[in-house]
A = this chain, B = another copy of it.
Amino acid sequence: MPQPPSLPERLPLLLQDLPPRWAHFCLGVERFLQETGLDLEGKCLLVAVSGGADSTALLLVLHWLTPRLGCRLWAAHLDHGLRPESPEDAAFAGALCERLGLPCLAGAVDVAQAARSRGVGIEEAGREERYAFLERARREAHADLVAAGHHLNDLAEDQVMRQLRGTGWPALAGMEALDRGRRLLRPLLLTPKRDLEELLREVGVAWREDSSNRDPAFLRNRVRSSILPALKRENPNYLEAVASLWRQGRLDRAYWDARVDELTGGRAALQKQAAARRVVLGKADLMVAPPALRLRACKAALDSLGPGQALAEALLRLDHAVQRSSEGKVFQFPGGKQARVTPEGVVFTGPEPGAKRS
């Protein structure tokens, strides 16, 4: 089978085949992976490959690093069926994996149809289908984690979108590099997109462009095309500020997770209660906790009950009621969850199984 024209005749297959600058670049990604505290030795990663610059670069960098990381790679590509050229993206992903000698799981779905039948937007349906497919693929590959190509520019967009929604701290700092709950790893999260494109040009790989990344119907695209350029005009090093805020968020997340565990008896205890869709934070514990901790404990209780992000404002209102012991007050949260202030403390309940999420 002839190679598609987008792959070069001689693609570097080993880290030592790379120009020094780019070998050094890969070692920076390795250091970032070490910072997550994750040991990849003996592990298997499933790399989500769309064919775009981000995930193509991710696949290559991880491939070059595998001898050092001691892990194995699989790839997976989902054809979303939204653009006429999407089969070519799939062919590109397949050809790249073949060249690297990596197994690739391919899937296809009709996202537009899924969006219609579930009454949600294309963006949301695409995300849900993609993550469901990747989770199936991860199990099929017996992989420990899914690796995704999110980079520093994605993180900058994510921070602005969280800012717009009214997300509190530390969630405002943006998506995690290692999301253990979702078994998701983002090795490039502090790498600027520009570096990824430059790397691909250097090694002669012509990635696929996804035209829907420019569609102004999607909030993310409007943030990318109008708000971020305005921020970068005011501070050309804005992406560095994004990375610093994220690093501070990581420290604070670890700090608050530990304090919340002390208050609640640990995640396992919360999860055990959450399995019965009812989590209680005792009044005595809450009343002696500083408000800053109480807020995070309530958020952890809500998070344990399933998807749906509680915003800062709603948590502040709940905490105000806790502080005043306003018994009987009920607060609704996204994802069909609610919190009720009772003489016992705060009782959090999850949605009925099978109930539609709000």
Q: Which residues of A are interface residues toward B (Cβ below 8 A)?
A: 163-166, 168-170, 172-173, 219, 222-223, 226-227, 230-231, 234-235, 238, 240-241, 243-245, 247-249, 251-252, 254-255, 258, 290-293, 295, 311-313, 315-316
Contacts and interface: CB of A to CB of B under 8 A. Distances in A.
B170 A235 contact: no
A231 B227 contact: yes
A139 B325 CA distance: 43
Given A164-B231, A164-B235, A231-B164, A251 B313 contact: no
Given A227-B227, A227-B230, A248 B293 contact: no
Contact of A244 (B223, B226, B243, B316): B316
Given A255-B290, A292-B254, A248 B316 contact: yes
B227 A312 contact: no
Classify the secondary structure of A's interface with B. Answer: helix
**How many protomers of this protein does the assembly include?**
2
Contact of A168 (B231, B244, B311): B244
A231 B222 CA distance: 10
B219 A223 contact: no
Contact of A251 (B164, B235, B295, B311): B295
Given A244-B316, A251-B290, A251-B291, 16 more contacts: A166-B240, A166-B244, A168-B248, A169-B169, A169-B173, A169-B245, A222-B234, A227-B234, A230-B230, A240-B313, A244-B311, A244-B312, A247-B316, A251-B292, A251-B295, A255-B291
30 contacts: A163-B245, A164-B231, A164-B234, A164-B235, A166-B235, A166-B240, A166-B244, A166-B245, A168-B244, A169-B169, A169-B172, A169-B173, A169-B248, A169-B249, A172-B245, A219-B234, A223-B234, A226-B230, A227-B227, A227-B234, A230-B230, A240-B313, A243-B313, A244-B316, A251-B290, A251-B292, A254-B290, A254-B291, A255-B291, A255-B293
A312 B241 CA distance: 8
Contacts of A251: 290-292, 295
A259 to B, nearest CB: 9
Contacts of A238: 164
Contacts of A293: 255
A163 B248 CA distance: 13
Contacts of A295: 248, 251
Which 8 A-B pairs have CB atoms at the shortest separation, nearest pair first?
A166-B241, A255-B292, A244-B313, A244-B312, A251-B292, A164-B235, A251-B291, A248-B312
